[in-house]
């Protein structure tokens, strides 16, 4: 660790720092919504922020890829007039957990591929990310150690770690350095404080352990052997095809394109809206053919998109271990239970 990459913010200066940030740009952070639910919303003071929270209802991807986003507007009353629309604003995200930062990194890879998604990339260019480390597990649904997302691995401008009397802050980008300098509440980290961070991370290794009896690099092979597993039949019987699991996932990026035309049929707009591979009509094509008609096929596809197909395309898992899909599933389908069943099926087959 280099001393000049780390700064210290005393706890008594936290609220002043947040107030200063909110005056620079729109600032969103996790807030309590009741019944153990949290959401990223615009805030203006540090007192509104929940520093200890389970993953928010929707991941912060909603700022990079809005639930509904206008793409273009058109008017043919005086010739063909079509204008592309990009709705964005500069903003700061504070308190983003490492699992959600990993999700944003996955989306960055997807939307940077040819053809690039310029709407997404413009949002990305105008959003600064301030991460916040989890000092302990969020709850029983998380599998962030298995997915290697429990520790910071880039993708942020600043990263906060709570060490009791103060936050130690990793400065990762020039934009992050500018935020530190403009706030004026920070001091350079000393060697003793860097040692305390290293000690904290060592203790964290003992707390965060593999949540399932499999190593990460063996998961692709597990799925190579599991396509015809009876585990998918069990999910077929239980799944309600509501789409909750994909809507809350930090790496799902499917959307539909729709047009709204005025009554005179001369003007309107085109927008995109989140879609889900778990809905019955998602894979239905012209002629009425549905190439993933059953819930079994759609659930299997969801898991393969997280643990197998993304490895071939991006050399990266698209599950970040956040646990949202398990928390939100009305049928009680739990990701860790599904993986454990697949592991058990493989072991039984060997025996």
98 and 226 belong to one structural domain: no
pTM confidence score? 0.94
251 and 117 belong to one structural domain: no
Average pLDDT, the chain: 94
pLDDT for position 184? 86
Q: How many helices (H) and strands (E) does the chain have?
A: 13, 12
Mean pLDDT calculated for residue range 196-218: 95
Q: Could you give the number of structural domains in the chain? A: 2
Residue 234 buriedness (CB in 10 A; 0-12 / 13-18 / 19+): middle
> Does 221 or 76 have the greater pLDDT score?
221
Query: In this prediction, what percent of the chain has a pLDDT beyond 70?
Result: 97
202 and 181 belong to one structural domain: yes
* Euclidean distance between CA atoms 83 and 116, whole angstroms: 19
pLDDT for position 348? 46
97 and 178 belong to one structural domain: yes
89 and 53 belong to one structural domain: yes
pLDDT in tens, 217-257: 999 999 999 999 999 999 999 999 999 999 999 999 999 99
Does 177 have pLDDT greater than 70?
yes
pLDDT for position 134? 97
Within-domain flag for 149: yes
Within-domain flag for 137: yes
Does 2 have pLDDT greater than 70?
no
Does 325 have pLDDT greater than 80?
yes
Within-domain flag for 343: yes
pLDDT for position 350? 44
Within-domain flag for 79: no
* Euclidean distance between CA atoms 158 and 131, whole angstroms: 6
16 and 142 belong to one structural domain: yes
Within-domain flag for 75: no
132 and 46 belong to one structural domain: yes
107 and 172 belong to one structural domain: yes
pLDDT for position 145? 97
38 and 162 belong to one structural domain: yes
Residues contacting 11, CB < 8 A, separation 6+: 165, 166, 167
Please give the residue range of the domain that contains residue 335: 216-256+277-350
Within-domain flag for 9: yes
Does 347 have pLDDT greater than 70?
no
316 and 175 belong to one structural domain: no
Residue pair 156/129 in contact (Cβ under 8 Å)? The answer is yes
pLDDT in tens, 252-289: 999 999 999 999 889 999 999 999 999 999 999 888 89
* Euclidean distance between CA atoms 342 and 338, whole angstroms: 6
DSSP 79-132: B-EEEE------EEEEEE-HHHHHHHHHHHHHHHSSSP-HHHHHHHHTEEEEEE
175 and 36 belong to one structural domain: yes
């Amino acid at each position: 660790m280099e001393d000049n990459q780390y700064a210290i913010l005393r706890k008594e200066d936290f609220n002043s720092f947040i107030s200063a940030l909110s005056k620079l740009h729109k600032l969103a952070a996790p807030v309590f919504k009741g019944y153990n639910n949290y959401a990223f919303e615009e805030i203006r003071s540090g007192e509104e922020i929940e520093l200890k929270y389970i993953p928010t209802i929707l991941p912060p991807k909603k700022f990079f890829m809005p639930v509904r986003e206008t793409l273009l507007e058109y008017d043919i009353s005086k010739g063909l007039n079509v204008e592309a629309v990009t709705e964005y604003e500069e903003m700061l995200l504070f308190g983003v957990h490492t699992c959600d930062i990993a999700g944003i990194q996955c989306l960055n890879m997807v939307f940077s591929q040819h053809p690039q998604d310029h709407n997404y990339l413009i949002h990305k260019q105008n959003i600064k990310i301030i991460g916040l480390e989890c000092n302990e597990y969020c709850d029983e649904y998380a599998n962030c150690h298995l997915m290697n997302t429990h520790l910071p691995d880039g993708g942020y401008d600043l990263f906060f770690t709570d060490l009791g009397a103060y936050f130690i802050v990793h400065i990762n980008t020039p934009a992050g350095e500018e935020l530190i300098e403009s706030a004026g509440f920070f001091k350079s980290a000393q060697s003793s404080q860097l040692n305390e961070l290293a000690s904290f991370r060592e203790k964290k290794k003992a707390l965060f352990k593999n949540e399932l009896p499999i190593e990460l690099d063996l998961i692709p092979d597990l799925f190579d052997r599991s396509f015809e597993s009876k585990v998918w039949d069990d999910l077929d019987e239980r799944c309600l095809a509501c789409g909750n699991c994909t809507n809350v996932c930090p790496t799902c990026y499917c959307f539909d394109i729709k047009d709204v035309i005025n009554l005179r049929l001369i003007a309107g707009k085109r927008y995109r809206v989140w879609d889900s591979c778990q809905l019955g009509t998602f894979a239905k094509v012209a002629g009425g053919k549905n190439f993933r008609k059953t819930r079994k096929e759609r659930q299997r596809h969801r898991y393969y998109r997280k643990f197998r197909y993304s490895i071939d395309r991006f050399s990266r898992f698209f599950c970040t271990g956040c646990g949202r899909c398990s928390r939100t599933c009305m049928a009680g389908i739990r990701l860790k239970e599904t993986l454990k069943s697949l592991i058990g099926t493989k072991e039984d087959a060997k025996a």
